[in-house]
Structure 1
Amino acid sequence: MLKLLRPAVTRLLTPLGRALVRRGIGPDAVTAIGTLGTVVSALFFFPMGLLTAGALVITVFVLFDLLDGVVARLGGGGGSTWGAFLDSTLDRVADAAIFSGLILYFIADGDALLAGVTLFALVAGLLVSYAKARAEGLGLTCDVGLAERPERLVVVLVAACFSGLGVPYLLAAGMWLLAAAGAVTVVQRVVHVHRQTRER
């Protein structure tokens, strides 16, 4: 579903991308701004318990992940290899900030269990990304799995947003779901890579 929505969102962001290109702003700058905004928002709003505000502001900055691609295609400069590396690296920084902000929120709320579950979800998400990067570095494919980054972001931001609006148990359910889905995805990718290595 998210892959089907991506072209539509990209079309909506194209006018803004053109405006940035005209002002000499390249995709690398867009990537950096999006990451900085996500990190600051997550570590400011979430620990204070402002879950809805944090989720909404972070969502705006997450869209920069699509906008940098639009700017690059429209001629905003930036080497594609370097841009891809920078984008992937800063994605991990943004993810870590989002989950760290929630961990701090749970700790402040006295909920050690959910803090631990969220930490597990963070580590599992990082392993999902690492497994793919390592496999591709070895010349293998690894585009499999239940929960890739877009799905994880949707779950965590929707859960945080509606939890802040008073929907009970939603944030807890979201964290447990992400922890389980992350673990399953890591196993799926390990199995997928193992099968490829046996076929060689």
Structure 2
Amino acid sequence: MGKPFIRFNPNAISVISFIFALLSGVTIYIGGIYLIFAFISILLSATFDALDGFVARKTGKASKAGDFLDHTLDRLSDIAILAGFSFSAMGSIYIGFFAITGVLMTSYMGTQAQSVGLKRNYRGVLGRADRLLYMMIFIIVALLYPYSYTYYLTFNPFTTLLMWFAVAGYVTAISRFTSSYRELSGAKGS
């Protein structure tokens, strides 16, 4: 699938992925029938995000600078899409805050482990691929069942997704922290 993209610069592919993520956030925020475009945009963002690394490896253009750009744009993409959910008519900025910080901490714990000499930590229930899949599923649910139920909190597809990301994000971040900390504590010079 990635062969037609071999002639492209992997960093340009990363930027294209980010542009689709921004479009996703905007169309999620708008809501309604635009959620169809949000679904397609998330799918395209995820596809291009997978392609950038493939192209970089196949063309011998893999670099630390490209990896750094990719990780930075991935975090900005997470923020853009989750902000769309949070600020939408069906969202909640309060729950969204915890969802965004949970997701960012999940990613941070993974890369922080790598920065101190461990292998990149992918443990937990809320990796990037999982998040994108959950987002697409909940967009479909919102298109089919755009209703809310209020009992202290408003429950609908978007607030439910944000609550899941908040809880699972912090659980995953804590899991990554504890496993990395244990590994570092057992190492010499800790």
Q: What TM-score range do you get, normalising by the shorter chain?
A: 0.7 to 0.9
Equivalent runs, 1:1-200 vs 2, <5 Å: 13=1, 17-21=2-6, 24-43=7-26, 45-49=27-31, 50-75=34-59, 78-106=61-89, 114-141=92-119, 142-166=121-145, 168=147, 169-200=156-187
Q: Secondary structure at the match of 1:47?
A: helix
Q: Displacement of 1:65 after TM fit? A: 1.0
Change (3 A) 1:190 1:103: same
- Counterpart of 2:152 in structure 1 is none
Cα deviations across residues 82-123 of structure 1 (Å, max 9, x unaligned)?
A: 2211111110011110001112204xx5x6xx3211221111
Structure holding more helix per residue: 1
| Amino acid in structure 2 at the alignment position of 1:175 | L
What's the % identity of the aligned pairs? 28
The one-letter amino acid paired with 2:125 is L
The residue type paired with residue 69 of structure 1 is: G
- How many residues matched? 176
TM-score by length of 2: 0.83
Partners of 1:146 and 1:37 lie apart in 2 by 25
For residues 71 and 79 of structure 1, the distance between their equivalents in structure 2, rounded to whole angstroms, comes to 8
Q: Secondary structure at the match of 1:134?
A: helix
Structure 2 CA distance for partners of 1:170 and 1:101, relative to 1, 3 Å: closer
SS of the aligned residue for 1:56 comes to helix
Q: Taking structure 1 as reference, are residues 20 and 197 closer, same or farther at Cα in structure 2, changes over 3 Å only? A: closer
Aligned CA RMSD, in angstroms, stands at 1.9
Residue identity matched to 1:127 = M
Structure 2 residue ranges without an equivalent (≥5):
148-155
Shift of 1:167: 5.3
TM normalised by structure 1 equals 0.79
Give unpaired runs (5+ residues) of structure 1.
Answer: 1-12
Alpha-carbon displacement from aligned partner over 1:161-200 (angstroms, at most 9, x marks no partner):
3202325433332222121111111111121122122212
